[in-house]
A and B are shown apart, each in its own frame.
Chain A
Amino acid sequence: MTNRLFFRELFSKGLARTLTGQALAFAIALALGAVIILMIDESPVAVFLTLMRGAFGDTEKIAGTLLQTTPILICGIAACIALRGGMFNVGIEGQLFLGGFAAAWVGFAFSLPPVLHVLAAMTLAVIAGALWIAIPAFFRVRFGTNEVVSTILANYIATLLTSYFTIFLFKRPGGWSETPPILTSAYLPELFSFSRLNIGLLIGLALAVGVTAFFRWTSAGYAATMVGSAPKFAEYGGVNVRRVGFGVLLVSGAVGGLAGGVETLGVHHRFMEGFAPGFGFDGLIAALLANGSPIGTIFTALFFGALRAGSLLLEVDTTASREIITVIQALIILAVSADLMMPRRGDRTGERRWKF
């Protein structure tokens, strides 16, 4: 899907059509979402207004929205990188958990000078994320083992493994299932006094710009894009398809780990079981919704962040469950994936990418 869309945008008589298509898809998804909200005996309008109020009601709420946006954005960029290389990294959730734990461990187990401490913790988070995807990535490029399934399965192991570390090895005495708090020298600086919003958001924005620039203006970025969209062409042009594919997945995993580090050092200041539920998946669908464009992901991540922040109020003010936003997100992805404005091709066998 993604690549088809890239190309249409490139040879663009299609950009306008893409945008109309996306808008139509959104409308359909929201209509379906309204039907489901009616099914659970709530008023769609009330739910929508509550979501908006929860997301943008006052400055604190807006900061809360941005706080939720941060991990989704960074995870989304991780997904974008893999998508550009023609692969799905569905394991961002796992990389996020391991990265988060690694950063927290550096945070509470060592004492270092302030800036260095953050850098060390972040570095280990990045390494943990990259290492966690290294084995699936190796088998993907060497033997063509489907990376979607291997990274999903790795998620479950990562979650259980970090829970094991937290509860059996590093549990805070007398606490719940969480590690000791990290030292203040490892805290990410906060942006405002009234919110836990931190420079993680700026890291995410910088990454989005950096990754876009990398893919647009460097030859390595061009090689990676070609490996994703036209591997045979890339190979013919002398690109080492395997090495580039491996590198792309590794970097994607590293960014996933970074997202975990930002979350523990910036928000929770410790690692706890289930500290970041679903951020990895939200990031992936934000990236899909943005057609794999990191800049577009900023906006889709903001949208999902707003939904998440709004859903907190939803749980308080209405009887609806906050998971209703997951339903809306999934419906949007389904509607967008149908790509309604795309003229159907005549041949029915068609080419399908991402086959195993």
Chain B
Amino acid sequence: MEILSNLFNVALLVAMIRTTTPILLVALGGSFTTKAGIFNIGLEGQMLIAAFFAVVGSIWTGSSLGGMVIGVAAALLFALIYAILVVSFRANEVVVGLALNILAGGMTVSLLKAIFGTRGSVVGRGIVGLPKIQIPGARDLLGPSTAQLISGYTPLVYVAFFAVPLLILFYNRTRLGLYIRVVGEKPEAAEALGISIVRIRYAASLLCGLFAGLAGAHMSLGYITMFTENMSSGRGFMAVAILIFSGGDPLKVLAGCLLFGFADAFSLRLQTFGFPSYLVLAVPYAVALVALFVLSWRARPKRIRETVDTIRRALSVHPSGEADRNAPLPRS
């Protein structure tokens, strides 16, 4: 019993909120591109390059805000390159995304050696971390242990969680949000309406870069102020997994991210209980895979289903029946 109460307590929830934040930020960023009909596998690289330049920027400017801005700028640059290649040059999005991830990995290591003269990681050296925000009165109202649930996080934690309702409003109530959705769901309709698909996809891609940049900055300037090689360690890919089964809906994204945040925090907790660290570290990836497999068949694209239906109608193989509509693919 004692082990259980040690495993599950307020501290675990707090840790979960912390570990959820970067993945939530990056997944929300990816929701823009997902909604705009772009499969953005390059989130990982944008996050990593932002994490590195956030550290560099915070040393150069001597402030965490400066670090954040420079980190986000780097991610935006990557997002811009991604958009130019994928939207304007119509290159394959998986190829470009993977190449940008590899580029980010190689560049951060090369620059790490060129700037700091070290391999592996950079710690200290005047890196300024993000401040912790104490919400006034939280301690008095809720008592010390509950108060830490809502108070004492870095600003980006609040940004991440408040972005969820804002994004819901954005997609339903703003012109740009609606345009992004139209471009993703029915490009032909967008074109007929005179919406510039290219411009909207650029906008979505850059918004994605902004959020991925914040996620990266939170990784390297948030609770640990350091940069290590490949420190994003697949979080960008987990975010893509979440995006696939959530379809980019902010609420579902939040739910998915909380699941991974929990898996992450829980695996860290298990490690302190002496489980083999290698197996424990694999838990979040395994959770991501299982969730992807279990949930993705339900969130499959409408387009394939529609295409299948039109083919059936054209070939008049099946007279259109509602039951068939839900069948995944025509059986061969």
Contacts and interface: CB of A to CB of B under 8 A. Distances in A.
A320 B114 contact: yes
A355 B41 CA distance: 11
B152 interface: no
B60 to A, nearest CB: 15
Contacts of A15: none
A69 to B, nearest CB: 19
Size band of the interface chain A makes with B: 35 or more
Given A40-B114, A168-B276, A319-B114, A145 B297 contact: yes
Q: Chain A interface secondary structure, helix, strand, loop or mixed?
A: helix
Contact of A160 (B113, B197, B279): B279
A325 B279 CA distance: 32
A90 B102 contact: no
Interface string A327-355: 10111011001111010110011101111
Interface in A248-291: 281, 284-285, 288
B198 interface: yes
A202 interface: no
Contact of A321 (B119, B187, B311): B119
B89 to A, nearest CB: 4
Given A143-B297, A145-B297, A330-B102, A157 B289 contact: yes
A153 B285 contact: yes
A344 B100 contact: no
A88 interface: yes
A36 B94 CA distance: 24
A118 interface: no
Contact of A167 (B92, B109, B278): B278
A164 B278 CA distance: 5
Contact of B103 (A88, A163, A235, A327): A327
Contacts of A288: 95
B288 interface: yes
Interface stretch (B7-15, B163-171, B237-245): B237-245
Interface string A32-73: 000010011100000000000000000000000000000000
Contacts of A92: none
Q: Chain B interface secondary structure, helix, strand, loop or mixed?
A: helix
Contact of B99 (A145, A235, A333): A333
B188 A156 contact: no
B278 A356 contact: no
A208 B131 CA distance: 56
A325 B111 CA distance: 13
B99 A338 contact: no
Contact of B244 (A167, A168, A356): A356
Contacts of A356: 39, 244, 296, 301
Interface in A80-137: 88, 90, 135
A323 interface: yes
Interface in B285-331: 285-286, 288-289, 292-293, 296-297, 300-301, 303-304, 311, 328-330
B98 interface: yes
Nearest to A243: B332
B41 A334 contact: no
A152 interface: yes
Contacts of B191: 348-349
Contacts of A39: 111, 114
B282 interface: yes
B147 interface: no
A242 interface: yes
A161 interface: yes
A184 interface: no
Contact of A146 (B113, B244, B329): B244
A323 B110 contact: yes
Interface string B107-120: 10111111000010
Q: Across the A-B interface, give the 4 residue pairs with the lowest CB-CB distance, nearest first.
A: A326-B106, A40-B114, A143-B297, A330-B103
Given A153-B234, A321-B109, A323-B106, 10 more contacts: A40-B113, A143-B297, A161-B279, A321-B110, A321-B113, A323-B113, A334-B99, A344-B90, A353-B92, A355-B37
Interface of A: 1-2, 36, 39-41, 88, 90, 135, 139, 142-146, 148-150, 152-154, 156-157, 160-161, 163-164, 167-168, 232, 235, 238-242, 281, 284-285, 288, 319-321, 323-327, 329-331, 333-334, 337-340, 342, 344-345, 348-350, 352-356
13 contacts: A88-B94, A145-B293, A145-B297, A146-B244, A149-B240, A152-B41, A164-B279, A320-B110, A325-B106, A337-B91, A337-B96, A349-B191, A356-B39
